[in-house]
Amino acid sequence: MNEKARYRISLRITHPNIRSIEISSRLGLEPDFSYTAGDRRLTPKGNEIGGIRKESFWCHELRSDDLTFELAISNLSQQLAKSKGFLDSLSSTGGHLEYFIGWFSAENSGFVLEGGLLRLLADLRISLAFDVYVGP
């Protein structure tokens, strides 16, 4: 990876109706932001904006400033592999799992995800969503 590139990775899960607290419990991770289908819609400051949440959403940001991008993705994926049955259940009941990746670079940069890691991501049914930000 280019030394000047930075990244942020979040595991994001959406599901038609699972309770957010169950996701946390089953994965052993705490969300940075979450809500459950049927919850009232609120602003980040807690003010009501009307309506109810139509689906559940759960997001955990990976803290990995000292790891290469490739190693950070690999470590989290190996940890999640311990919960493969639960992830399969989420996917088979209408859920969607993804790594949302913010890639920040002022110049040309890149990385390589090896075949074994890509196979693991496919087995866990985790999609990759990239937002690339170029600038100083």
What pLDDT score was predicted for residue 4?
A: 59
What is the per-residue pLDDT across 32-44, written as a single tens digit (0 to 9) for each?
999 999 999 998 7
The pTM assigned to this predicted structure is: 0.90
pLDDT averaged over every residue in the chain: 92
pLDDT band for 1, please (50, 70, 90 cuts). Answer: very low
Q: In angstroms, rounded to a whole number, what is the distance separating the alpha carbons of residues 133 and 38?
A: 34
74 to each of 12, 45, 64, 81, 103, how far by Cα in Å? Answer: 16, 34, 12, 10, 17
Within 10 angstroms of residue 31's Cβ, the number of other Cβ atoms is: 20
What pLDDT score was predicted for residue 99?
A: 98
What pLDDT score was predicted for residue 58?
A: 98
Q: In angstroms, rounded to a whole number, what is the distance separating the alpha carbons of residues 12 and 90?
A: 12
Q: In angstroms, rounded to a whole number, what is the distance separating the alpha carbons of residues 92 and 110?
A: 33
Q: In angstroms, rounded to a whole number, what is the distance separating the alpha carbons of residues 103 and 134?
A: 8
